[in-house]
Structure 1
Amino acid sequence: MGKLTTHVLDTAKGKPAAGVKIMLYRINGLSHNKIAETVTNADGRTDAPMLEGKALTAGVYELVFCAGEYLMASGQASGEVLFLDEIPIRFGVADADGHYHVPLLISPFAYSTYRGS
């Protein structure tokens, strides 16, 4: 059975990013339906998959990482307007039986992602 997992790494500090709020949306045309919300643990990971089993279906999803809150709390960003705040990553699930791992690597002025394993 398939599952969707994620984690967040702070590349500026060289460690996992704990306490990052993550929201998961199912995208259908112009509609965004929030289906899950969690916070990363001390290892920068979620305590459970964002979706798994029958809940993971083929389609388009979006993870939104509240990086700005984390960067401010860690002393890496300040002010009313942040360069990076909420970071959306939209991706497609073609095989609902597959493992989709979508990590976020962040620093105060850059981010990247990839499909992990």
Structure 2
Amino acid sequence: MSTLSTHVLDAVRGVPASGIAVEAFARDAEDRWQLVGSGTTDDDGRIPRVAEAPLAPGIHRIVFATADYFAAQHVDAFYPEVAVTFTVDDERHYHVPLLLSPFAFSTYRGS
């Protein structure tokens, strides 16, 4: 069974990004996005289990609500949200980290 976690780091301040709302979606057979889980990053910038149920093979998306995070800090930012789309192709744990700044972001397949 595949599971999903995330970790968000504020690359400008050099700290975990806490309080970011995150939603996870799976693409269904009709090519629509179905919500499969949600959460808010903790004080360490983590959500240990974003999806409520095991992920099925297919295309998935995790969306980070970055506008609210930066607005709370009174920082102008370019990206109101960050969406990362990825493929689940085998049974394993999927970890999607996000390195975030007001005008850039980076992600990778974590472990």
Alpha-carbon distance in 1 for matches of 2:99, 2:27: 23
**One-letter code aligned to 1:111:** F
What runs of 5+ residues in structure 1 fail to find an aligned partner? none
Q: Name the residue aligned to 1:67.
A: 66
Q: Name the residue aligned to 1:104.
A: 98
**One-letter code aligned to 1:23:** E
Give the alignment's TM-score, normalised by structure 1: 0.86
Instruction: Name which of 86, 89, 102 aligns with 2:84.
Output: 89
**One-letter code aligned to 2:80:** D
Alpha-carbon distance in 1 for matches of 2:24, 2:60: 7
Question: What is the RMSD of the two structures over their aligned residues, measured on CA atoms?
Answer: 1.5
Q: Which runs of 4+ in 1 moved over 6 A?
A: none
CA positional deviation for 1:27:
1.2
**One-letter code aligned to 2:44:** D
How do 1:1-117 residues align onto structure 2 when only pairs under 5 Å count? 1-28=1-28, 29-46=30-47, 48-51=48-51, 55-77=54-76, 82-95=77-90, 97-117=91-111
What runs of 5+ residues in structure 2 fail to find an aligned partner? none
CA positional deviation for 1:99:
1.4
